[in-house]
Amino acid sequence: MVIKGLLRQPLFIIGFLFILILITTSIIYSLLYHGHVPQYAILTEKGKYMGSPPFKPSVIPPFGTDKNGYNMFDMIIKGAKYTIGMAILVAILRTVLATIIGVFYGSFLRKIHNVATKLFDAFNYVPIILILMFMLYPILMMDGQSEHYKYHLITRLGFEVGALVLLSLPTLALKIGNETMLILEKEFITSSKVIGAGRLYILKKHVFPHLLPKLWVQFVQNIIQVLFILVHMGLFNLFVGGTHAVFTGTGTELKSSSGEWAGLIGENYKLLSLTPWVPMEPLIMFALTIWAFNFIVEGIKKAIDHPYMKIKENIPKENQMTEKKSKSLASFEFLNKKPSSRNLVQSK
């Protein structure tokens, strides 16, 4: 049912196909080349010196190379699966954990609601990336001197995912808890209780089905949030899987150990004015991916709002009054009412 509804939404299809193609090519690329990225040294034509890296996109199409001569297009394709995969993984964990906590909170812990909302409101006045930076910096950074990580790759990844999930959990769980409370105030819940339904039964049969469409929207929106955070982490040299520090002749060079997009921004952002295409390309890819996921969200929203898909809407308490009023007023209507009366007013 839901999937059929989604397939009718062109925005959803565009977004979904974009992400799907990007991830599949990325995986196929890794399977074919085992993560090897072609590197271009000095270019010569008939024995004549033509230039050295970085090459512009016009010299080595389509995306040019970075200052070490690595092909940017290959790097972006290679990195796509890590970046998007990371975002999806974190979003899944966030949504699932926040749902469990939120539903429990909404149904059993209503008494602390007033205090909890205000206490966790602090998260709304803090740029999350700042806190994230303090938590992740000691873990993800490679020791510049010994060129060794302090922790194993799995630990680093686990800690990073954990931090990204943990810091958003309070706000998200409160939101879902709030939704749960609104649903539990509905009349059909009372009638269900009167008939003799238990708390768990009500959660399973009534609360969860009403929550589910909103959770899907939350899930995709969280993917977008994580992508935004990854861009910022890239600027602050915190890369997925760890920040690789390599000594070169000119100084320490920072690299992402997995090769995801944030790493491509971070190491090249200082060179924005010299080689603008190198940091701009991963940034543009981020923008395109976020667009695709935003398309998916819009598609899901429209599919849910579709009359066939509608299960009872959760109208906030304040609006219920106006809703009732408007219903009684709507019973009086002009028979020859035009759909848009605004044009009439304007032409006057």
Binding site for another protein (CB under 8 A): 115, 118-131, 133-135, 137-139, 150-151, 155, 159, 224, 227-228, 231-232, 234-236, 265, 269, 272-273, 276, 279-280, 283-284, 286-287, 290-291, 294, 298, 318, 322, 325-326, 329-330, 340-346, 348
Report DSSP letters for 147-186, one per residue.
TB-SS-HHHHHHHHHHHHHHHHHHHHHHHHHHHHHHHHTS
Q: Which is nearer to another protein, 134 or 308 (CB)?
A: 134
C-alpha–C-alpha distance, residues 259 and 115, integer Å: 43
What's CA 156's distance to the chain center, in Å?
Answer: 20
Q: Which is nearer to another protein, 170 or 213 (CB)?
A: 170
Q: Which is nearer to another protein, 184 or 297 (CB)?
A: 297
Look at residue 312 and give its three-state secondary structure.
coil
Q: Are 275 and 94 in contact (CB under 8 A)?
A: no
Closest approach of Cβ 318 to another protein, in Å?
7
Q: Which is nearer to another protein, 159 or 208 (CB)?
A: 159
Closest approach of Cβ 42 to another protein, in Å?
27
Tokens (6 digits) for 5: 């509804």
Element at 43 (helix H, strand E): strand 43-45
- For residues 133-167, b (16+ Cβ closer than 10 Å) or e, as one string? bebbeebbbbeeeeeebeeeeeebbebbbebbbeb
Residue in the structure block whose two tokens are 């394709």: 77
C-alpha–C-alpha distance, residues 234 and 218, integer Å: 24
Closest approach of Cβ 194 to another protein, in Å?
30
Q: Which is nearer to another protein, 13 or 283 (CB)?
A: 283
Closest approach of Cβ 290 to another protein, in Å?
5
* Cα dihedral 24→28→29→30 (10° resolution): 110
Closest approach of Cβ 221 to another protein, in Å?
12
Q: Which is nearer to another protein, 248 or 328 (CB)?
A: 328
Q: Are 167 and 132 in contact (CB under 8 A)?
A: yes
Closest approach of Cβ 102 to another protein, in Å?
18
Closest approach of Cβ 119 to another protein, in Å?
5
Q: Which is nearer to another protein, 135 or 197 (CB)?
A: 135
Determine the Cα angle at 229 with ends 225 and 234, to 5°: 150
